[in-house]
Homo-oligomer: A and B are copies of this chain.
Amino acid sequence: MNMRRTTIKDVAEAAGVGVATVSRVLSGGSASPETRERVLTVAAQLDYRPSALGRNLRQRRSGGIGLLVPDITDSFYGRLADGVLACARSAGEPVILGTTGDDAEREAEEIAVLLEQGVDRVVAVPAGNGEIWEPTLRSGLTTVFAHRLAAGRQDVPAVLADDRAGVRTAVDYLTGLGHRRIAYLGGPGQDSRVSVFRQTLGALVDEELIVFARGSRDSAYAAAAGLFQHRPDLTAVLAGGNQLGEAAVLAARELDLRVPKDLSLIMFDDVPWAELCSPPLTVIAEPAQDIGYRAAELVLRAGGRRPRGALLPTELIVRGSCGPRRTQ
């Protein structure tokens, strides 16, 4: 029952060589062909698997890569995580997952846990502002941001969707349909989008129509319902994420606003149910999984270097949730 794991020492003894040699053979160092083969054979026979524990301690870093997302329940982050996992798996690296709830304090805690674990590579959707990351980055942790930047941290490589272009396309599409009073229903960390929203809308911008929800579903619903009740004159909404879109649909239904007759709706993030909705939702698709994969790739390939980030394309997928401005 209580059999010890086989260690490198066992292999060394069984193969009649020193532990140093075994280590070298197994990690690709130099060794004579016959020694190499003998060691490999013995290792296979004993079903030897090097313990990450010993290695990590010696190398003062745990191999794994940390992943911090706001909410693993959100389809977008689920897909993003899936991309990270796919890349990590192909590299044989474990992934330590933490959720921040878009809360700076929780983010800091999760970072602390990761550091304690000796994780030295992190993919994160940053929640707090850049300062939180200061000591972390200084301590030599390779970080890649995904999906969004931390305020005031242009020095960290990031893999982003080109949502600025997405916003432009969406706004142009809506104004093209005749809409003038267009709302933006945003979530945490979408300042950059909103600035483009303002820019593109130009003279049409109406600050009252720009509202923000915190991360939760409840908050999203409250924001949407509040917006619709307070400003029944709006005719189109751009929802900044799938949970916000969901809230918008729900709130609209609750208030008997018909989509797209009374209200045109565009949602960021193409989720499977967007097609099942009635009407099917027009969306700006973001390559969530690619974002995750690329970010993981960057963080793995980074050999101490600071890699450049990436900007992935978004796509407006027109379905049935937008129509011409209602004439009332």
Spell out A's residues near B (CB within 8 Å): 5, 49-54, 56-57, 60, 62, 64, 67, 71-75, 78-79, 81-82, 85, 89, 92, 94-99, 109, 112-118, 217, 243, 246, 249-250, 271-273, 275-278
Interface centre among A54, A67, A217 (most CB of B within 10 A): A54
Point out the residues of chain B lying under 8 angstroms from A272, CB to CB: 217, 243, 246
Asked if A94 meets B95 with Cβ closer than 8 Å, knowing A50-B116, A62-B53, A246-B272, the reply is no
Whether the pair A277, B275 counts as a contact (CB closer than 8 A) is no
Query: Nearest chain-B residue to A54 (Cβ)?
Result: B57
Copies of this subunit: 2
Whether the pair A85, B72 counts as a contact (CB closer than 8 A) is yes
Select which of B94, B96, B217, B278 is within 8 A of A277 by beta carbon: B278
Instruction: For the complex of A and B, list the 4 residue pairs with the smallest distance between their C-beta atoms, beginning with the closest.
Output: A273-B273, A278-B278, A97-B97, A53-B118
Query: Nearest chain-B residue to A245 (Cβ)?
Result: B276
Point out the residues of chain B lying under 8 angstroms from A92, CB to CB: 113
A59 to chain B, nearest CB (A): 9
23 intermolecular pairs with C-beta atoms under 8 Å apart: A49-B112, A49-B115, A49-B116, A51-B118, A53-B60, A53-B62, A53-B117, A53-B118, A54-B57, A56-B56, A64-B96, A67-B97, A72-B78, A73-B78, A92-B113, A94-B96, A94-B113, A94-B114, A217-B272, A243-B272, A246-B272, A271-B273, A277-B278
Asked if A97 meets B99 with Cβ closer than 8 Å, knowing A72-B82, A276-B277, the reply is no
Point out the residues of chain B lying under 8 angstroms from A54, CB to CB: 57
Whether the pair A117, B64 counts as a contact (CB closer than 8 A) is yes
User: How many angstroms from the CA of A276 to the CA of B251 in the assembled complex?
Assistant: 11
Asked if A72 meets B64 with Cβ closer than 8 Å, knowing A57-B57, A113-B94, the reply is no
User: How many angstroms from the CA of A250 to the CA of B276 in the assembled complex?
Assistant: 7
Query: Nearest chain-B residue to A246 (Cβ)?
Result: B272
Query: Nearest chain-B residue to A47 (Cβ)?
Result: B135
A88 to chain B, nearest CB (A): 9
Contacts beyond the supplied A57-B57, A75-B75: 10 A-B pairs with Cβ under 8 Å: A50-B116, A52-B62, A72-B81, A72-B82, A72-B85, A74-B78, A92-B113, A94-B117, A271-B273, A273-B277
A200 to chain B, nearest CB (A): 28
Whether the pair B64, A73 counts as a contact (CB closer than 8 A) is no
Asked if A116 meets B52 with Cβ closer than 8 Å, knowing A72-B85, A78-B72, A98-B94, the reply is yes
Point out the residues of chain B lying under 8 angstroms from A249, CB to CB: 276
A285 to chain B, nearest CB (A): 15
Point out the residues of chain B lying under 8 angstroms from A75, CB to CB: 73, 75, 78
Point out the residues of chain B lying under 8 angstroms from A117, CB to CB: 52-53, 64, 94
Asked if A51 meets B273 with Cβ closer than 8 Å, knowing A82-B99, A96-B95, the reply is no
